[in-house]
Structures are given as structure tokens and as C-alpha cells.
Chain A
Amino acid sequence: MMIVRGRDDARWMPSRHRFALFRLAAYLRLRRAAPRPRPDVMIALTGIGDARENYGIAAWAALTVTCYVTSELPWPLILAIPAALSLAMLLLQAVIIASGLTARLFSKNENQLRFNGAVLGVALIAAAVYYARSASWVRFAAWQFLAFVALNALAAIVAFLLRDSIAKLEGTFAA
């Protein structure tokens, strides 16, 4: 794992991020940023995302699932929304636990982050596809989810095409 010492602008290194949209945003930000020397800073290049990325995606996924659950509950919104939020969290936990336990049946490797991440992602996309076909308001929640997934896929293509430029920019920190 690379650790950059003394450069605060290293926070904008694209490789710190997981999702292509955030990597691309970081690349654009880093291109415009002037070097910010700070002797009291150590930045780790982990590739697992920063606060904006992980908090943002977690909130977005949780709220989207909450919309789906709300649409299924036959209660007034004032009761349905808090109940749906709790149920949505339980559902997400259930998918992760089921996926994790299933993975262990086929693999001795205790680290199943990638597999579970893929399963959860596919489950969320599948739910979005299902609810996108609904006639009710919930289809808008589903469509916005699918729109961001498509946007991220597009960003991944752009990031791939810019891979040399990204590597060159990040190489200045290794120096």
C-alpha cells in the first residue's frame, strides 16, 4: 500500500477511490489542484474510497431500498417511512449475511468482500429493474438508481481511456 507523506492534495488521487464516478471526479480535481505541501500529513492509497464516496453510496443505496419497501407497505407515509427504513437496513444486512455464508460453503477464504459486494450490487440492480416497471411513484426511485449505475459504467470507460494520464499524475506523488 502506497503512503504519501507531506502532500495534502494526495487526498485527490484517483486510486483512493473504488467507483469510477468518484475516480474520475478525483482525477479532474487533482488536475486543477496546486501541490499542497503539509509536513504533518500522511495519506494512504487504499482504493476503498473516502468519506464522500462510502457515505454517499451507503445513504443512496439505503434510501433507494427504503423507497422500495415503503411502496410495499399499506400504511400512511408517516408510519411507513420509518418502518421501511428499519426494514431496508435489515434487508441489506440479510443479503450480506446470506451471501457471506453461501460463499463460505464454496471457499475457505474468510475474506469475501469482493464476492459479497458483487452479490449486493447485482441484488440492488435486480430490485431496480423490477421496480422500474412499476406504474407507481417507486419507478422514479428505481430509474434514478439505474441512471447512476449507467453513469458509473460510462465513467469507467472514460477512466479506462484516461488510465495513462491518471497513472502519470499519480506518479508525481511517488516521487
Chain B
Amino acid sequence: MTWFRRFLVQGVFWRQFLRWAILNQPLWIEPASMAFWTLFFMFWGPGRRGVMRNLTAIFPGSSPVTNFFRTYRVMWNFASTLADTMRFKELRVVPDWEFEGLEHFEELRARRGGAIILTAHMGSYDLGAHLFAESSERPMVMVRAPEADPQTREFEESHTARTIADRLKIDFSTRSTDLALDLLHSLQRGEIIAIQGDRITHGISALPARLFGKAMHVPAGPFALAMAARVPIYPLFIMRLGYRRYRLVTSKAIEVVRTRDRAEAFDRAVEAWTGELERAVRAGWFQWFTFEPYSEELAA
């Protein structure tokens, strides 16, 4: 009796439906459909509540009614981002781009050695990675958590294999120890590693942090890799500004300097990272796609 799993929120049916819609629905009617289907997904209780709880941390003292409408905007942006990504994968349609912190982005591109891009669940990870791959000669490894649903995972992997750029490689955070060694070797070869550093998945080593005054955890991997490989971490965020318009925000590199007190070095780097993350989320709360409370204090 697992046939209905495909229709659950993370089930494969919605990815297949999205793909079908991208290939069949005229663009000039898409915004109306988007508005309609976003309303439908507002019935997804856990996701809606997760976003509303996170919004209470970003906007202290905000009313539930305002946050309810803000949640609609987050869901709308999520749907739009998924559509833009699918449209890129299927039809190679790219959005318009703006750059903030262009000097840091150029520094990252021009760097001879490896580097780590630390980003968040904002905008389109795939579009940003492809932009980088198109504008740089260096290979990039995107580390991501696998899809929870096995059918969805299979669907995404098959489509990614078909559409991914030559210089892009996907790897999964669940590979843990093997992955750490592979990534270290990639960095030593001068490649770029892109990791999402605003949440952890089960079984991944983590470092404590604070975001909007609430305790949370960030993956330890990027900071350990940066220290081991002696490469900088570039905070980079992909913001969806509007209809097929994205902004790539690159911040000043964070160096994880190896000292006698490893924990203190990590603390400083994590604080620098969460400072950038907080700034990005405050400016782009409507597309921070975190559908669970990011802190246990919010889940209580």
C-alpha cells in the first residue's frame, strides 16, 4: 500500500508533474497556475508551520497572520525557483543575473587553488552552480543531501545525469568519510566545492552556531576541509529577485586559520559564516527554503 507515497509532498509525482508543466504549460499562463498550486501547498501543515516558526525568529514579535501570508510568499518563491531550475534543465532557458560583491566572485574565479563555496537553501543551487561552471574553467563539486523519497531521488539523479554541465559533479553528504577524502583531493587539485551550510542532515558532524539568537548547528565538513586543505570559504547566496531574475551575492572569503586551538578557529569561522547567513536571510527571508524549524528552540 505504498502507491500513495508518490503523491506525498516529497513524492515523485510532483517532480514529474512539474516537468510535464514546464514542457506543456504556456509561460503566459504560468503565474496564474503558480498562484493556484502554491495555495494548494499551503495545506502542507508541517512545512507551513516550519516556515512560520522560522519567521518568528527572523521577525521577532511578528503576528501569526502576517507570517501566514509571508509563508505563502516563501512557498511561491520555492515553486518559482523549482520551475526556473526545471526550465533550465529541460529547455536550457537561463534567467537574468545580477551580481553583488562582484569583486569577491571574480577573486573566486581567478583563484588558482581550490576553494569552498558555502551557500544556503535559497534561490536555485543548480542555476548558480551552472552559472559558475559556464564562467569558469575549473571543475566544481556540488555536495547535497539526497532526496528523502527513493523514487524522487531516482528521478532527480536521472535528470541531473542527462542535463548536468561537463565541469559539474554532484556528490551526496551521506557518504560521510569517503566523501571527506574525495573532497579534500578535489580541493588539492584546485577544484571548487559547493556546500549548503544552513542545515545538517542526520549523521553529519556538526558545529554549534547561533542564528537570529537561536541555537542551531551547521555542518562541520566545510570548516574542517578549509582548515585541512588551507583554502578559503566564500559565502555565496543565490537570491531570486523576481520573475526569472536572480542575484548572486558573494561575500568576502572566510579563512579558517590553523592554530593550536582548533575549536576556537572553528568558532570564529562559524561566527563569520552565520553572520553572513543572517544578513542574507534577513534580506531574502522570502526565499529561505527551510521547511522545518532551524532551531530546537523553535520546534519546542
Chain A residues within 8 Å of B245, by CB: 51
Q: Are the CB atoms of B97 and A42 closer together than 8 Å?
A: yes
- Give B80-103 interface residues, CB cut-off 8 Å to A: 90-100, 102
Q: Are the CB atoms of B32 and A48 closer together than 8 Å?
A: no
For residue A3, CB closer than 8 A to chain B, the reply is yes
B20 to chain A, nearest CB (A): 7
For residue A120, CB closer than 8 A to chain B, the reply is yes
B87 to A, closest residue via Cβ: A48
Chain A residues within 8 Å of B31, by CB: 54-55, 58-59
Q: Are the CB atoms of B243 and A11 closer together than 8 Å?
A: no
Cα separation A99 to B29 with both chains bound (whole Å):
14
- Mark the stretch among A108-116, A125-133, A142-150 that contacts chain B: A108-116
Chain B residues within 8 Å of A19, by CB: 28
Q: Are the CB atoms of A113 and B32 closer together than 8 Å?
A: no
For residue B24, CB closer than 8 A to chain A, the reply is yes
Q: Are the CB atoms of B30 and A58 closer together than 8 Å?
A: yes
How many residues from A make CB contacts under 8 Å with B? 40
Cα separation A132 to B23 with both chains bound (whole Å):
32
Q: Which one of A99, A112, A120 contacts B23 once the chains associate, using CB atoms below 8 Å? A: A112
Q: Are the CB atoms of A58 and B23 closer together than 8 Å?
A: no
Cα separation A43 to B244 with both chains bound (whole Å):
10
For residue A164, CB closer than 8 A to chain B, the reply is no
A115 to B, closest residue via Cβ: B24
Interface flags, A11-53, vs B, CB<8A=1, else 0: 1000000110000000000000000000111111010111101
B101 to A, closest residue via Cβ: A40
Chain A residues within 8 Å of B32, by CB: 58-59, 61-62, 89, 92
Cα separation A92 to B274 with both chains bound (whole Å):
44
Q: Which one of A11, A18, A96 contacts B96 once the chains associate, using CB atoms below 8 Å? A: A11
Interface flags, B17-29, vs A, CB<8A=1, else 0: 0001001111111
Interface size class for chain B? 20 to 34
Chain B residues within 8 Å of A39, by CB: 102
Q: Are the CB atoms of B20 and A51 closer together than 8 Å?
A: no
Q: Are the CB atoms of B96 and A110 closer together than 8 Å?
A: no
A contact residues vs B (CB 8 Å cutoff): 1, 3, 11, 18-19, 39-44, 46, 48-51, 53-55, 57-59, 61-62, 86, 89, 92-93, 96-97, 99-100, 103, 110-113, 116-117, 120
B contact residues vs A (CB 8 Å cutoff): 20, 23-33, 35-36, 90-100, 102, 242-245
Ranked nearest first, the 10 interchain pairs of A and B with the lowest CB-CB distance are A51-B243, A117-B26, A100-B24, A58-B31, A58-B32, A40-B99, A62-B32, A42-B97, A89-B36, A57-B28
Q: List 14 A-B contacts (CB under 8 A).
A: A19-B28, A39-B102, A46-B93, A50-B244, A58-B31, A86-B36, A89-B33, A93-B33, A97-B24, A99-B24, A110-B23, A113-B24, A113-B25, A116-B24
- 12 additional A-B pairs beyond A54-B28, A61-B29, A100-B20, beta carbons within 8 Å, are A40-B99, A44-B96, A46-B94, A48-B93, A49-B27, A54-B30, A54-B31, A58-B29, A61-B28, A93-B33, A111-B91, A113-B25
